[in-house]
Amino acid sequence: MAKPLRIALAGLGTVGAGVIRLIETNASLIARRAGRTIEITAVSARDRHKDRGIDLSGYAWEDDMTAMAARDDVDAVVELVGGADGPALTLARNAIAHGKSLVTANKAMIAHHGLELAALSEQARVALKFEAAVAGGIPVIKGLREGAAANAIERLYGILNGTCNFILSTMEDTGRDFADVLAEAQAKGYAEADPGFDIEGTDAAHKLAILSAIAFGTRIDFASVETAGIARILAADIAQADALGYVIRLIGIAETDAADGTNRLFQRVQPYLVPFDHPLAHVDGATNAVVAEGNFSGRLLFQGAGAGDGPTASAVVADLIDIARGDLGGEAGAPFSIQVAEMEAMPPAPSGHRLGRAYIRFVVADRPGVLAEITAAMRDAGVSIESLIQKGRAETEGDVLVVMVTHEGPESGVREALRLLDGSASLKEAPLVMQILGD
């Protein structure tokens, strides 16, 4: 058997500890599948004395994690610290500069600096692997890079954040409102103490930008992802969606768009109404699911645990097994399936001309003429209304919820209608717009 793959591990949180447990528990199986053993030689974390439930005495400890990249007894570095910049990025750059392969679960770093790191890894002829950065233990990156490699991906979409999916599906099951369920998610460890990255859609947008680059061969463009979160969704929205035949899910969607003759990339993360009969409507709890539509393969569905120490550690160690086998991702390494120099820089696609149906919820004053004002704005903007429902809001005396579903039309029409209503004294808060997911 070949000499061991020696790794240094930075970050000993739940995932880092999970990686150690997995390598120790399945050592014999991993060695047989990788063709050699995988051995941890050095570790690093902020608190050396914290009890993590694992024995670290057999590993060298580095107080400065960025120094691990220079160790002679390290072949590959695993970065599980997190953060787009700072020590994580320094470690990543140092590892590649010292000829070490890099495995990371850091979706923020890859979304912001992935192209730089990929170009460096290609030049150094070392691997850059980040399966664990998207959808936890689901092998969606490997599925796109390898299983669907012969296909032109026409559309990519899915549920990319387990925290939001847990919150929305729990609201659906219990009828409770957002703040109450968020507190439960935090108590169960599904949401951070500061849940902003999750509930505002940023985490899902990081993942979508990474998947878009792999699926479409485009340069990562996180800044162009249209992003909206779930904090404004009410229990009343969940109930009304159910009555109409839908569930609400935070969906990331990406596809190429050549409507104006220029090949552009459309990327969006926002809550969608999903029909009961769509596969994503049945994805509950902290589960993730990604749908990729290939021109020959048809619809591919990747579904499973999107977070947690076990699933994420599984993805990290799978990347290490690939490295142990000598897989750099192509002859000279291509972390995004295509060499960085050949990745296309697509401008962002405008969304105004996109055709679809929309759910619009207004909170309005309970007085005569309000409905006429809203419908007049829709008429003047060329928006056709399919259904309109008005209900009192028990928790706020004098306020009324007005919900409408539009017929199919360009998104620009809804935006124009809301522009016409902007500043109206009848509206108690900004309207909430959610698109309806099509086939």
What span, in angstroms and rounded, lies between the C-alpha atoms of 95 and 124?
A: 10
Q: Which one, of 106, 95, 156, 165, lies nearest residue 131 by Cα? A: 106
Q: What b/e string do you get for 335-366 counting C-beta neighbours within 10 Å, with b at 16 or more?
A: bbbbbbeebeebeebebeebebbbbbbbbbee
Q: How far is CA 275 from CA 249, 397, 420, in A?
A: 10, 32, 30
Residue type, 199: I
- In sequence order, the 6+-apart residues with CB closer than 8 A to the CB of 67 are none
Catalytic residue among 50, 207, 391, 428: 207
Residues composing the chain:
439
- The three-class DSSP label of residue 391 is strand
**Locus of tokens 């800044």:** 223
Q: How many CB atoms lie within 10 A of CB 143?
A: 17
Q: Is 126 within 8 Å of 229 (Cβ atoms)?
A: no
Active site residue 107: no
State the chain's maximal CA–CA distance in angstroms: 82
Number of helical H runs and strand E runs in the chain = 13, 18
Query: Catalytic positions, please?
Result: 207
